[in-house]
Amino acid sequence: MIELPSFFALFIVPIFELLSRLNGSGKSIRESLFKIRKMKKVYLKMLERFKELPSIKQVEEDYGQLEQSDKIAVLKFPFVGFSISEPVRKNLTATKQVCDCEISLRLALDYGKDVSISPYDIQEALEAKFQGWGDQEMNRWECKSLVKEPRLDGLVVFRFLFKTGYQKSPQ
């Protein structure tokens, strides 16, 4: 016996995906039937945006990889570790909030291995890609700070702090 969630995911969702594309609605079934949480949307859109920066070789959530020498050895450089948070939320109504969203990007380059590109060229390209970027679902991104982290291990690490915001209501 097939479980309902598996059946739904394997058969029903693809059928609705096809129908929504055929009827020209432009919305996928995920957008139509399932509201994706705003923070997750920021994450997914950011990952898509990184695809436009071919010089960045690896992008993943920052869980301290750059502080662990055994993790550094397996990273592909230039590397970006990111974290996304909502440090401030304000109620508009009982069910709707305005959220500030902070995105921390840590751009790491192993300058000892690859000196063909200036770390500042990659840093400028990353900043240009995200500064002022936004859409109808989130405010334009604003780079609030850029700090070059002091390191003893030979890595060049730039830490960006971007801010955006959006309205959020329960799913």
Query: CA 108 → CA 17, 114, 158, distances in Å?
Result: 39, 12, 7
Q: pLDDT tens digits for 133-158?
A: 999 999 999 999 999 999 998 899 99
**pLDDT for res 132:** 98
- pTM here? 0.76
Domains annotated for the chain, with CATH where assigned, are: 1-33 (no CATH), 35-168 (3.30.2000.10)
3-state secondary structure of 162: strand
By C-alpha distance, which of 48, 64, 44 is closest to 56?
Answer: 48
Residue 1: band (very low, low, confident or very high) from pLDDT cuts 50, 70, 90:
very low
- Locate the DSSP E strands across the chain: 58-61, 79-91, 97-110, 142-149, 155-168
Give pLDDT tens digits for 34-68.
345 888 999 999 999 999 999 999 999 999 999 99
The per-residue pLDDT for 11 is 53
Q: Say how far apart CA 108 and CA 47 lie, in whole Å.
A: 17
